[in-house]
Amino acid sequence: MPASPIIAPSILAADFSRLGEEARAVEAAGADWLHIDVMDGHFVPNITLGPDIVKALKPHVKIPFDVHLMIAPVDPYIEAFAQAGADIISVHPESGPHLNRTLKLIRQMGCKAGVVFNPSTSPSVIEWMMDEIDLILVMSINPGFGGQKFMRSQLAKIEKLREMIDATGRDIPLEVDGGVTPETAPLCLQAGATALVAGTAVFKGGPSAYAANIAALRGG
């Protein structure tokens, strides 16, 4: 289990009327990354943020922007999010016909490239292209809405992906998103995760609670 996992609060759970303040508050509370969920109402059944919001948030914090694109087709939007300030751009294998090409495009734009696994997506999708990947994100819920219950079936997938990462000898963050709480976080870390996305578990209680909420996810 890693000594201190990366904590990436999901801005989707923040107060949308004061996003800049919320981003600054979680950074001050100890967040490592800011996780930004982008949904198009087509690939997933919800609509959230666009590149203009990412650009507006960027000056407020110094921590990396971890942008998760739930968009199909995804390739036409990568440049806009890269220019808006994304540091990591993660995509689903199902969001375009050529995952390898998409990852190369993300890297050409100066960002780190991530692959996201829906609960039904097999780790074998990336077996022959581990060298192109800078982040792996396992969805422990079905993407589209926050507040869903953690799917324990995904722990075995985390274990499998940890084996695949270790075999490369590279330090690829293995991130988990969905139903992450102080109760489920240790399960993810024991399975091999090194980064945790949390929305409700971080933002509940308002800014005065953020530091304690983040510490609880780390096991402190």
Catalytic-role residue among 40, 66, 75, 177: 177
Contacts of 77 (CB under 8 A, 6+ apart): 51, 69, 71
Catalytic-role residue among 32, 37, 75, 134: 37
Nearest to 210 by CA among 6, 9, 3, 2: 9
Residue positions forming the annotated binding site for a divalent metal cation: 35, 37, 68, 177
| CB 64, CB 109: distance < 8 Å | no
CA–CA gap between residue 131 and residue 136 (Å, rounded): 12
Whether 177 sits among the annotated catalytic residues: the reply is: yes
Residue positions forming the annotated binding site for substrate: 10, 68, 144-147, 177-179
| CB 5, CB 219: distance < 8 Å | no
Whether 171 sits among the annotated catalytic residues: the reply is: no
Write out the catalytic residue numbers: 37, 177
